[in-house]
């Protein structure tokens, strides 16, 4: 089996991804800041929103990792600093830090969101932001790139999508055949959805859900993540799979 690291494994999509990977015979390293009741594979506690936490995790993981599923994320309600730190800066630092411990032809899968699909409209700002070095101070990063609390969630996912496309051609990954892709869910029934309801309002979330008949479940998302980790996806690189039941297509076709 492959060695796969799954972050955010204590809840929702990450938990389901870790379980499914294990049931398919993978050797799973599950990571979260919260220790889950049912630990899948080898559990490692880590705070992915700090440079120290990411570094400790990279050191704790063995060589020979085949896939990294970056699922951990925050909704934006905790504020811009932790949201940017976990959803973008920490995820990027973990991916870059783990790359030397990954096998040739490995795979990095970044869970973004349909909330990040506006990235083309913010190219100028995002371009500057994704090129920063290392794991900068998240508060300073938010100040430097004009990131506000209210929009920090979509901003973090726009940064993540743009970085995913960029990273697919970064020699750190590309020289060893490591692919970098994204999976972007629409509304999914997990604890984070309650926070999105608080921020966006029930009307907006319900209307999105009604467009496609129901909210997704973690079980709808995990297989796409594991597909990108598999050898069958060997020619899929630097792309994004919307996993939203057709929501984005519905919104787009209305605007066409």
Distance CA 7, CA 44 (A): 9
Considering the rule CB under 6 A, would residue 209 count as an interface residue with ligand NAI? no
Count of other CB atoms within 10 angstroms of residue 194: 12
Considering the rule CB under 6 A, would residue 200 count as an interface residue with ligand NAI? no
In angstroms, what CA-CA distances link 89 with 132, 134, 150, 222, 243? 10, 8, 18, 23, 23
Q: Which residue's CB is nearer to ligand NAI, number 174 or number 197?
A: 197
The binder of ligand NAI chosen from 19, 47, 66, 220 (CB under 6 A): 47
Considering the rule CB under 6 A, would residue 76 count as an interface residue with ligand NAI? no
| Interface stretch with ligand NAI, choices 92-100, 118-126, 188-196, 206-214 (CB under 6 A) | 188-196
Binding residues for ligand NAI restricted to 117-146, rule: CB under 6 A? none
E strand residue ranges, 127-227: 179-185
Active site residue 105: no
Q: Which neighbouring-strand residues pair with 239?
A: none
Considering the rule CB under 6 A, would residue 185 count as an interface residue with ligand NAI? yes
Q: Which neighbouring-strand residues pair with 179?
A: 107
Considering the rule CB under 6 A, would residue 93 count as an interface residue with ligand NAI? no
Distance CA 41, CA 32 (A): 13
Considering the rule CB under 6 A, would residue 192 count as an interface residue with ligand NAI? yes
Can you tell me which residue has the tokens 């984005």? 248
**Which spans of this chain sit near ligand NAI (rule: CB under 6 A)?**
8, 10-14, 32-34, 46-49, 71-74, 86, 111, 113, 185, 187-188, 190-193, 196
By annotation, the residues acting in catalysis are: 153
């Amino acid at each position: 089996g492959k060695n796969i690291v799954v972050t955010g494994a204590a809840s929702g999509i990450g938990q389901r991804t870790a379980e499914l990977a294990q049931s398919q015979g993978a050797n799973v390293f599950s990571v979260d800041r919260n220790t889950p009741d049912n630990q899948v594979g080898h559990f490692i506690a880590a705070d992915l929103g700090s440079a120290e936490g990411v570094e400790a995790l990279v050191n704790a993981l063995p060589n020979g990792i085949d896939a990294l599923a970056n699922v951990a994320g925050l909704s934006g309600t905790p504020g811009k600093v932790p949201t940017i730190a976990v959803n973008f800066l920490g995820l990027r630092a973990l991916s870059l830090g783990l790359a030397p411990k990954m096998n040739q032809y490995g795979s990095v899968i970044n869970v973004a969101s349909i909330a990040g699909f506006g990235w083309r409209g913010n190219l100028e700002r995002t371009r500057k932001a994704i090129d920063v070095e290392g794991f900068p101070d998240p508060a300073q990063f938010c100040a430097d790139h004009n990131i506000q609390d209210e929009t920090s969630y979509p901003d973090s996912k726009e940064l993540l999508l743009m970085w995913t496309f960029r990273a697919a051609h970064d020699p750190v990954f590309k020289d060893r055949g490591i692919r970098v892709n994204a999976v972007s869910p629409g509304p999914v029934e997990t604890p984070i959805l309650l926070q999105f309801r608080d921020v966006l309002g029930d009307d907006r979330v319900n209307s999105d859900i009604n467009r496609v008949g129901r909210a997704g479940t973690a079980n709808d998302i995990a297989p796409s993540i594991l597909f990108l980790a598999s050898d069958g996806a060997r020619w899929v690189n630097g792309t994004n799979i919307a996993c939203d039941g057709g929501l984005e297509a519905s919104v787009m076709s209305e605007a066409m």
